[in-house]
Structure 1
């Protein structure tokens, strides 16, 4: 679309303003300026879309990496939660063990308290009385053994109580350590979750903004193309008016020649084509007519012609006789030649290394008009051949 619009602008200026006295001057400079300005804005919007698309791809890659980190953190969190459940179960079991130990300790403590109270109330004479009250030596020995056992039992009970106290204190300390570890694990898990969630949310905002900006740029491109279509329609109207004026001038000149009896037909400086187009050069078609992925920008755009692969310096021939209405630099096309063949038919030859004709020059079919190159938006030497009918690009294959 962009290329056909450039051709239209060039045709409008060259045909309407370059026809000399044969055509009434129509102000096309303003339309050309509008076309150039709109094309520049379209290029900018496309470039902006490409930039935002790159941002989208970069951020999407980051989000993919963040998601992998989030998955790993989730797995770690599940592991921590499993540890938390295990520790909680241990804590609950420890509480049960402590409760049992405390109950047992209270029971043994009551026994010891009673024994101590009895010793306190009766003093050591109780033991002497037990020993001295024996009736015989055998009774004395039995009583002494019994007394030893009682004393030993008292002593063992004291040791057991002390051991139970130490065990309870150790259980309490372990419980506190487990609780502290549990709190630390929970805090770490929560911190990890918040950090990754914040990072993901931040990148998601960037992604959403990039998508919105790309969509805005795309909408701008559509709006600009709509405006460009309006300018293009106006250019076509002026082209039609210029063609009508040219034909009227030819008829007037023909009538004048017939009236003068010369019959030779004077040259009005504008060559009409035969209507049959020939190939501008020989080579393979490297890019057909229609929508394609641009080899430089990587975006899907409309290709208004065909690309013929040739070497640098290959002669480029006029597809038909006609008048050169533009020979110079066109944005994107590089060095280009536009030939008007009359009847609303024109051809364009782009990306040339050098040009062999100038504006206003009449050319014959097969005449060398340029030499192939790779100027403008091009990845290598080739001839971009374009056919336009009434200002709209058509498939050249239908005319070759």
Structure 2
């Protein structure tokens, strides 16, 4: 933009009558330089923001991978705990049965012990003094004492069974608590996973990027229109400009194509391929062949040669009479500003990488015209 304004100053300062206007434009240059500086800072900030977004995306993917691994680990643990709970329930049933059996055995020995004890006491009281059968009495008493040892053994079994049953119940309680914790952890990780996937899968970012690209292109076009409009307004004041305009106007439908190729973006209203909206193109986009030579459509002078916002590498050729042609999205530039060019001059080349496209405009009096009406 700064170099375009400098060209404007050179044209305006050709006559002393416009010295005051030149000074005014100098102030505008200083203002635009400040705007350009701020714009570059904004661009750098946007690049930094983009890098942060890329890092955030990388971080989200890493977190998702970590969550997936954690879910897999929890799933394995859930299966392990499920099997342990089943085994514990079997052991609980076994311990309960053992307790019941020990209790039954104890009660049976107690009943037998009580019955034999009563029988022994009755027999001992009624007949001992008459029969004086000491060996038989001792034998019966020993049998009763044996029953008592059986009762003690059954009680030990019963106590051991109670301890075992209590241990298995506590173990099951611990397992059920651990299961509940893991279920909660699993659900929490599933929720976080869903949120991360939603964040990663959103298309809002893509839409914003596309809309910003469109906005940048429109702003670039408006800035370029303003500059060219000022050039046209001053050049119209000369007689030479009028003659040049007549000469170029006679070439309508006769101009050669700047490059061989196919028109992929028409002049005027075009539907965006990704967004449900329309954009206005002030020129046409030609799909050519990589590294193909680009030539001007008519004689003229290069008044701008360099990079310009969304137009990329760009060349503006002044054909006189308020007519200008614009060649954008170039892969390389082969001419310099103020250089005279002809129809056979190679002014640049199509890009060697990416899309092999050329953006081409024809402007008359600062207003864009359909290039297809000028090309033969």
Normalization by structure 2: what TM-score? 0.63
- Structure 1 residue matching 2:238: 3-state secondary structure: helix
Instruction: Give distance in 2, aligned partners of 1:156 and 1:393.
Output: 121
Match of 2:11 among 3, 16, 19: 19
Which structure 2 segments of 5+ residues have no match?
Answer: 275-280
Instruction: Give distance in 2, aligned partners of 1:153 and 1:89.
Output: 38
Instruction: Give distance in 2, aligned partners of 1:248 and 1:122.
Output: 151
Partner of 1:45: 46
Instruction: Give distance in 2, aligned partners of 1:250 and 1:31.
Output: 31
Alpha-carbon distance, 1:247 to partner: 1.8
Alpha-carbon distance, 1:164 to partner: 2.0
Indicate the structure whose relative CO is greater, using CA pairs within 8 Å and at least 6 residues apart. 1
Contact 1:327 1:359 in 2 (8 A): yes
Confirm or deny that 1:309 pairs with 2:289: yes
Instruction: Give distance in 2, aligned partners of 1:35 and 1:320.
Output: 32
Confirm or deny that 1:247 pairs with 2:247: no
Instruction: Give distance in 2, aligned partners of 1:167 and 1:232.
Output: 97
Alpha-carbon distance, 1:128 to partner: 5.5
Confirm or deny that 1:320 pairs with 2:322: no
Q: Deviations over 1:299-341 (max 9, x none)?
A: xxx9984453344xx6432133333121234467775422244
Instruction: Give distance in 2, aligned partners of 1:176 and 1:93.
Output: 12
Contact 1:348 1:385 in 2 (8 A): yes
Contact 2:303 2:316 in 1 (8 A): yes
Instruction: Give distance in 1, aligned partners of 2:332 and 2:99.
Output: 96
Aligned residues: 349
Confirm or deny that 1:360 pairs with 2:338: yes
Contact 1:305 1:396 in 2 (8 A): no
- Structure 2 residue matching 1:368: 3-state secondary structure: coil
Instruction: Give distance in 1, aligned partners of 2:186 and 2:257.
Output: 62
Alpha-carbon distance, 1:222 to partner: 5.7
Match of 1:280 among 239, 255, 258: 258
Instruction: Give distance in 1, aligned partners of 2:299 and 2:338.
Output: 13
- Structure 1 residue matching 2:257: 3-state secondary structure: coil
Contact 2:217 2:310 in 1 (8 A): no
Normalization by structure 1: what TM-score? 0.60
